[in-house]
Amino acid sequence: MFDRLWRKPRSYGGSFSNRTREINLSRLQQEEFDIAVIGGGITGAAIARDAAMRGMRTALIEKGDFGSGTSSKSSKMIHGGLRYLKQLDIRLVRESLSERERLIRLAPHLVRPMAHLMPTHAGWMARLELRIGLGGYDLLAGESSLRRHRNLSREEVLDEEPLLRSDHLAGGVLYYDCLVDDSRLTLITAKSAHQCGAVISTYTKATSLSKEEVDTCRVGYRDVLGGRQGVLRARVVVAAAGPWTDELLRLHDHSEPMLRPTKGVHIVFDRGRLRVNHVIVLPTEDKRIIFVVPRDQVTYVGTTDTDYQGSLDEVLVEAEDVHYLLAALNWSFPTLLLAPADILSSWAGLRPLLREQGDPSGVSRDYGITFYDDGLAVIAGGKLTTHRNMARSLLDQVMKRYAHRLSGTFRECWTGEVPLVGGEMGEFPSYLRAQSLGLMGGWDVPRRTAEHLIKSYGRNHMDILALGRSDPSFLEPLAPACPAIKAEAIYAVEEEMALTLEDFMSRRTDLMHFEADRGLPVAKTAAKLMGRLLGWNPDERERQIESYRHSVGRMFHFRGSSSRPST
C-alpha cells in the first residue's frame, strides 16, 4: 500500500545537495504552497515530512543548517522521562514511551536501547518510591521491546560500575531507555520530507511575515550564503523556530514572550579518563539528575538547566556550568578527581520551554500550539522524543482550523508507519553484526569504521562505499585511526545538503565533539573534498577551516578567552 501512496522525488533525481538547494530557492519564489514551515530543527523537519506525506504542497526554510540550534545540542536521548512521573505528568510519560517504541522501528540505526543504572544512597522510603516509579514506567511502556527494570544490590552495583562512590551506597536499579544521534535524526527526517516532495532550503532566513490577500501569507526570506532575497507564498505558515520563536513573532508584531529558554550544557571526556559501562543516572545537590553516557571512545556528561537571557546565536559553556557538572561527577566518582583540563569538548544549547513560573527543571516539557487568523500557526516547547507526535497534532489542527484556506483533499497522518531514510531494516543488532562482517570481509574495512558507517547511515551505508568504485582513495580514513572515511565528506555534500565544513564535522558526523582531537587534523582533508564539489577556491577553503577552528575554540570558553585547544 505504501509504495502506491509514496510521492516520488522530483525530476532532479532525488539528490539532496547544494544543486537541490539552488533549484529550491527558485521554486520558493515561483510556486505557491499549502504550508510553509519556518525552522529546520527536529520539529520543523517532522512537520514538513508529515505535511508532504499527507499530500500538501510543502516548503521549509531554515536560517542555518538542519538541527544547528537545539536539535543537535540535546543529551542525545529518546526516553520516556522517568522524572516526569514524579511531577505526575502521566500523559507526557505515556506519550513519550509510545513514541520511543515507534522511533526504534522508524530509525533503528540511530535510536538504540541502552541500559541505564541509577545508584541509590537514600533511605528505604526513597528507594521504595523509586521502585514504585520504575514499576509504573514499565507499566506505561506497555508491550515495549525494551527490557523491564530490575533492582540491584549494593554489591551488584559496584560490580557493574566499580568507580562509583561506595560509602552509604544502598543499591541501585537498572532500566532501559534509548540513545540517539540527534543531528542525523533531524537530517534524515528532513531528507525523508524531501523524498516526499517537500521543497527545502537551508541557510535561508525569514525576514518578514505578512498577509498578502484573503487566503495567502507572505514570508520574506534571504539566502544567507548568496545574499539573494525573495518572497515565499503559502496558504498557511508554521513557525517551528525553537528558541528563536519570540524573535520570529516580532516580525508578526507580537511582542508578548511565549518562551522561557533554559540552557543545557554537556562536557565530554576521554573514555579512559571516565570509564562507565552503562548510562549512569546521578543525583545532584539541587535534586536534579545528570547523565553520564558512554559513547564509543568518549563519555559525555550533562545536563545543566538554568534560565538564559543571552545571545540566541552564541550559547557558550561558562565556568560555573562546568563547576556544577564536575562537582556532581567528583562526588559520585571520588577517585577520579576530574578537572576542567580533562574536558575534550563541550556543547551548550537552549530548550525552548513554554513560559511559566517556577524552577527551570520543573517547567513542563509539554508543547503549545497557537493559531492566528491570518494563517500563522506557532508550535513551541516539547521534547525531542515526541517530535513526530507534535507534528501530527499540529497538522491535524491546521487542517481543521484553516480548512477554508487549504485546497484539496489530504490524507491522515501515516508518518508512524514508514521508516525514515536508511531505517528500512528489521532487528538492528542482527543487521549490524551481519553487515559488519560483510564489510570487514568483502571490503577490508576495519570493524570500528564498519560499525560507524552502519550506525550512521543504516541501509544507505553501501552508498558511501560505492563512491570508492570511482576512486579507491575515497575508502581511506580521513586521518589515521579516524572512523570516518573520505567518501562521507563527498556523500554529505551530494546527498545530505552539507554546505559548510562545520555542517560535516559537527552534524553529518560528530568528529567535532566525539574524537579526541576534535576533528582538527582531518578538517583540511574534509574541506578539500567538499570544496571540489562546492566550488571553494583556496581562500574560501581556508576561511572554512578557520571558521571551524574558531567553533572548536568556542567550546573551551569556560577556560578563559585566551584558551585554545591544540591540534
Question: Which residues share a beta bridge with 302?
Answer: 266, 291
Q: Is 80 exposed, middle or buried (0-12, 13-18, 19+ CB in 10 A)?
A: buried
For 2, residues 6+ apart whose C-beta sits below 8 A from its C-beta are 414, 417, 418
pLDDT of residue 87: 65
Rounded mean pLDDT, 389-406: 95
Give the closest residue to 73 by CA, choosing from 321, 320, 276.
Answer: 321
Dig out the grid coordinates for 384 from the structure. 525531542
Q: Angle, nearest 10°, between helix axes 42-54 and 387-401?
A: 50
Dihedral pair phi/psi, residue 120, rounded to 5°: -125, 130
Amino acid letter, 392: R
What does the alpha-carbon distance between residue 155 and residue 173 come to, in Å, rounded to a whole number? 12
Give the lowest-confidence range in 28-37, 91-100, 194-203, 354-363.
Answer: 354-363
pLDDT of residue 562: 39
* pLDDT greater than 70 at residue 266: yes
Bigger pLDDT: 193 vs 85:
193
pLDDT above 70 covers what percent of the chain?
92
Give the closest residue to 520 by CA, choosing from 470, 558, 556, 492.
Answer: 556
Helix (H, G, I), strand (E, B) or coil at 106: helix
pLDDT in tens, 171-216: 999 999 999 999 999 999 999 999 999 999 999 999 999 876 678 8
Question: Which residues share a beta bridge with 267?
Answer: 301, 346
pLDDT of residue 8: 36
Q: Are strands 259-270 and 343-354 parallel, antiparallel or unpaired?
A: antiparallel
pTM: 0.93
* pLDDT greater than 80 at residue 524: yes
Mean confidence (pLDDT) of the chain:
90
Q: What proportions of the chain, in percent to the nearest 5, are helix, strand and coil?
A: 45, 20, 35
- Asked if 116 and 177 count as a contact pair (C-beta separation under 8 A), the reply is yes
Neighbour count for residue 74 (Cβ, 10 Å):
25
pLDDT of residue 47: 98
pLDDT band at 4, cuts 50/70/90? very low
* pLDDT greater than 60 at residue 507: yes
pLDDT of residue 147: 81
* pLDDT greater than 90 at residue 400: yes
Give the closest residue to 53 by CA, choosing from 437, 395, 426.
Answer: 395
Rounded mean pLDDT, 331-355: 95
Amino acid letter, 174: L
Amino acid letter, 457: Y
pLDDT of residue 240: 97
Q: Give CATH superfamily name and number for 428-559.
A: Alpha-glycerophosphate oxidase, cap domain (1.10.8.870)
What does the alpha-carbon distance between residue 7 and residue 51 come to, in Å, rounded to a whole number? 12
* pLDDT greater than 90 at residue 451: yes
pLDDT of residue 145: 78
DSSP string, 401-426: HTTTT--S--PPP-TTTSPPTT---S
Dig out the grid coordinates for 200 from the structure. 527545502
Give the lowest-confidence range in 90-94, 151-155, 434-438.
Answer: 90-94
pLDDT in tens, 475-486: 999 998 899 999
- Asked if 48 and 71 count as a contact pair (C-beta separation under 8 A), the reply is no
CA atoms within 13 A on the CB side of 458: 23
* Sign of the alpha-carbon torsion through 10, 11, 14, 15: negative
HEC string of 246-299 equals HHHHHHHCCCCCCEEEEEEEEEEEECCCCCCCCEEEEECCCCCEEEEEEECCEE
Question: Which residues share a beta bridge with 349?
Answer: 264
Give the lowest-confidence range in 206-215, 322-331, 516-525.
Answer: 206-215
Give the closest residue to 503 by CA, choosing from 536, 558, 548, 464.
Answer: 548
pLDDT band at 136, cuts 50/70/90? confident
pLDDT band at 128, cuts 50/70/90? low
pLDDT band at 88, cuts 50/70/90? low
pLDDT band at 133, cuts 50/70/90? confident
Rounded mean pLDDT, 296-318: 94
pLDDT of residue 364: 59
Give the closest residue to 74 by CA, choosing from 284, 508, 385, 325.
Answer: 385
What does the alpha-carbon distance between residue 564 and residue 553 come to, in Å, rounded to a whole number? 5
Q: Report residue 109 CA to chain centroid gap.
A: 14
* pLDDT greater than 60 at residue 498: yes
Give the closest residue to 475 by CA, choosing from 442, 498, 501.
Answer: 442
pLDDT band at 138, cuts 50/70/90? confident
pLDDT of residue 566: 45
What does the alpha-carbon distance between residue 298 and residue 510 come to, in Å, rounded to a whole number? 12
Burial 3-37 (b: 16+ CB within 10 A, else e): eeeeeeebeeeebbbbebbebbbeebeeeebbbbb
- What are the angstrom distances between the C-alpha of 359 and each of 65, 286, 287, 335, 366? 32, 11, 11, 32, 15
What does the alpha-carbon distance between residue 315 and residue 347 come to, in Å, rounded to a whole number? 9
pLDDT band at 340, cuts 50/70/90? very high
Bigger pLDDT: 363 vs 106:
106
Bigger pLDDT: 256 vs 269:
269
What does the alpha-carbon distance between residue 193 and residue 362 come to, in Å, rounded to a whole number? 34
- What are the angstrom distances between the C-alpha of 551 and each of 242, 512, 544, 555? 21, 9, 11, 7
Give the closest residue to 9 by CA, choosing from 95, 134, 17, 62.
Answer: 17
Rounded mean pLDDT, 323-337: 96
pLDDT of residue 254: 77
Highest mean predicted confidence (pLDDT) among 90-99, 126-135, 211-220, 396-405: 396-405
Amino acid letter, 305: D
pLDDT of residue 9: 35
- What are the angstrom distances between the C-alpha of 109 and each of 237, 305, 426, 459? 33, 29, 10, 9
CATH of span 92-180+260-356: 3.30.9.10
Domains of the chain, by residue range, sit at 2-70+184-258+364-401, 92-180+260-356, 428-559
pLDDT of residue 215: 82
Q: Report residue 221 CA to chain centroid gap.
A: 25
Q: 2-70+184-258+364-401, what's its fold?
A: FAD/NAD(P)-binding domain (3.50.50)
pLDDT band at 11, cuts 50/70/90? very low
Question: Which residues share a beta bridge with 20?
Answer: none
Give the closest residue to 295 by CA, choosing from 28, 139, 61, 77.
Answer: 77
pLDDT band at 257, cuts 50/70/90? confident
pLDDT of residue 283: 83
* pLDDT greater than 50 at residue 227: yes
pLDDT of residue 371: 94
DSSP string, 426-479: S-HHHHHHHHHHHHHHHS---HHHHHHHHHHHGGGHHHHHHGGGT-GGGGSBSS
